[in-house]
Amino acid sequence: MAIVSFTLNDEGVVAFQNALACTLRFSEDVSLDARRDKLVLSALNATKSAFVSFTFSSAHFFRYKYVGSARSLDRFFCVLYIRSLLSVFRGRAGGDANRGSSADSSIERCDVSIDDGPGQKSRFVAKLAWRNGITATHALPFEAKAPVVARFDKAKADNHWSISAHTLRRLMEHFGPKVELLDINTEGNQVVNLTCFTEKQYTKTEGILNMNLHTSIAVKMDDFDDVDVEDKHHIIINVKDFRAILQHACTTSGVIAAHYSEPWQPLRFSYDENGLFCQFILMTLGNKADSEVKKSKTRTKNTATARPALAAKSASSTAVPVDSARPTAITEDQPHPSLSAVKDRVPVPQPPAPNPAAEQHPEFEIRPQPAALSDARMETLYEDDSQWEPVNPDEDMSGFVQIEWDERTGVCTNQQRDQGPKR
């Protein structure tokens, strides 16, 4: 008797396989929790410091049907070995040598049924149809065991932000492969820092040399889609788990959200796409702040709607630097400068205003500072500059060397001008 049955198309098979491959980075077993409207794959690592959950809604499948059993009408759960299950959904590379290398060996469809009941073997049956015409059926045993679920209270997570997973993955490439812990902090002005420490020991003839590497990457608030964090806040997570999350997040829409409160409390990364909701709950480290100190701290917020828009300008208009933080309004009482006054005055370009975040955090910035726009007009570049004026032969130019062409000989001659009339 099939308690649960569903069908996956080619895209659904890839999504199911990616979820299993990501779960394998955390645990060797995966819990399957089937209900009438969804199917959940979850796992808890051996140290109980990371929980993984992938929720497939019924709309994600090509076909989904839940029948239930006499023991449980609304829910069925079991535990399977991930490596055996992953080998079923892994695509076969290459084609058939007898039929030619052009034969497509990818999975076209997968029909899954979970059989269980009195007098019947408990099996997870997957029937795969390949594009090259081959059909394969796999039957895997499972254990009827309730899954372990980690609880996370989103209402208590007062710090949250969302950003592109591709951006975070490129930033993580700056850290070494042996980094274990990552400190997410807000030390600075309008930045979120990703900081890590690498300690290495090199054996010398005289002894052991310790070499410590401190790497910090400042992410500006404008790079986040949404951010609301406490200032001077630190929280530490495991780098290995974080990289595994980013690797799977890049296979989806790529926008990842983080919710957390304080150190030693769980942190949740989540993202969703096309009926697939993914969440990762990680245990954190750090130093807890006192309640009185926490109340006195300020917060930094930024949303996508609050970002300053780029001002459109014409090629013929004069570029004037604008301070976006403190705009200056021009009222009717203030007279507008005339064009002649602007032309007679040679403006002096002002240096760009110092970035407070760069002064406090001279670490690596992911984007260069924008160059200050000059307000100098093109016609003022040549004013009061005698080197661009034409030569006047009637003027007294002592020491000036004049080059002339002799038409009779066809040779260029240099003539030194006199120092002027002698008195």
16: three-class secondary structure by DSSP: helix
Q: Are 182 and 197 in contact (CB under 8 A)?
A: no
Same CATH topology for 2-91+105-141 and 155-288: the answer is yes
Q: Please, which residues bridge with residue 415 across strands?
A: 402
Phi-psi region of 144 (alpha: psi -120 to 50; beta: other; left: phi over 0): beta
Q: What is the CATH number of domain 155-288?
A: 3.70.10.10
Q: What is the pTM of this model?
A: 0.67
The pLDDT value given to residue 417: 53
The pLDDT value given to residue 308: 46
The pLDDT value given to residue 92: 55
Q: Both tokens of residue 186?
A: 């807000």
The pLDDT value given to residue 107: 85
Residue segments in the chain with a per-residue pLDDT below the cut of 70: 1, 91-104, 199-211, 289-297, 302-423
The pLDDT value given to residue 292: 52
Instruction: Indicate the burial class of 132 (C-beta count within 10 angstroms; 0-12, 13-18, 19 or more).
Output: middle
Q: What is the CATH number of domain 2-91+105-141?
A: 3.70.10.10
In the chain, where are the structural domains located? 2-91+105-141, 155-288
Mode of pairing for the β-strands spanning 107-117 and 38-44: unpaired
